[in-house]
Structure 1
Amino acid sequence: MAGMARWQPGARERLVLAAVDLFAEHGYDATTVAQIADRAGVTKSTFFRHFPDKRELLVAGQDALSSLLSEGITEAPEEATPLEAVAAGLTKASSFMGPMNRELGPRLRAAIAASTELQERDALKTVGLASAMTAALRARGVPTPVAHLAAELGVLAFKQGYESWTATEDDSDLAPHALAALNDLQAATAHLR
């Protein structure tokens, strides 16, 4: 984790990081709000100032992500192809992913691997992101089957890009990783015939 020292997480970020570590160690169900607050070095009332319950810890960023992906698609130039619009969505969402998100990646994967409930939640999150992008593409006049496919490729690209971004030690942003993944997926579709 060399080179990560510059970034100092605030209370909200510390709570999220503490939570995912505890979920990975003890499982989601066995982890209490008190343990999360304790690990983060804050009081329980501070926890509740930021999150209504431990479930909300994990969905907190999801609505924002869906909105950013949709906005990027909506703001893409009129002549953009469906995948170019998806690329614009990925770029917009990526620009809001900072050191916190990068540090969270591997820890969140460990927590999800340890918990069935979190696996289900992760699957629902994927569906939510895809449907947000599909709706934004359809609003651009993209036919439904094409919109669905482009959105699914966008979600895959986001996930793969996020994986490779959190695995690198350099100072890169998420966007190039997500866009490279989208290019690879687009190239792969040529072999589907």
Structure 2
Amino acid sequence: MSQPLADSALDQLFRTARTYNGYLDKPVSTEQLHAIWNLMKMAPTSANQLPARLVWCVSQEAREKLAACSAPTNAPKIMSAPVAVIIAMDTQFQEQLPWLFPHADARSWFTGNDALRERSAFINTTLQAAYFIMAARAIGLDTGPMTGFSNEAVDAAFLPETPDYKSVMISTLGYGDPASIFDRSPRPDFDVFNRIA
């Protein structure tokens, strides 16, 4: 049976974790990128769809190209990070379901239903983007997720050979520079946005 995590783990994952705008001059290894994926792939998606497709921008050239597709306020953040990640959705994810979800003919649920397929791809990729953030925090890295970029430009620059892949979010990744964060924004008490029915 699962046990509650220690306060130190909860702090690292949630309470003291922050979104960073700048990073320390400290590299991120390929092994760490694999570690993030190997954690985030274990978290649930509907019918094990796993529609997220990640492009890890490690080289200076790749980060410059990504920065050029981003809002002016986000470009410096991308350039300061050792890694930036494009999280895209595979709009034809159902083609992978025969082996990802062999328990039922899940592929047929989405074939011919573009609206359901694209909605499911977006929702579950967004869910996987959240898992990416938590996995990065779990292995001791920091992130700076953002949606301030041109999806069309990112898709044209990084995904031209996979037209079924559509960018959803990008994130910086590394060891956050504490000087780059703002004061924490408000976090409301339970009763503000919750009710028990």
TM surpasses 0.5: no
Q: Which has the higher helix share?
A: 1
TM-score by length of 2: 0.29
Q: Which has the higher strand share?
A: 2
Higher relative contact order, structure no. (Cα contacts within 8 Å, ≥ 6 residues apart): 2
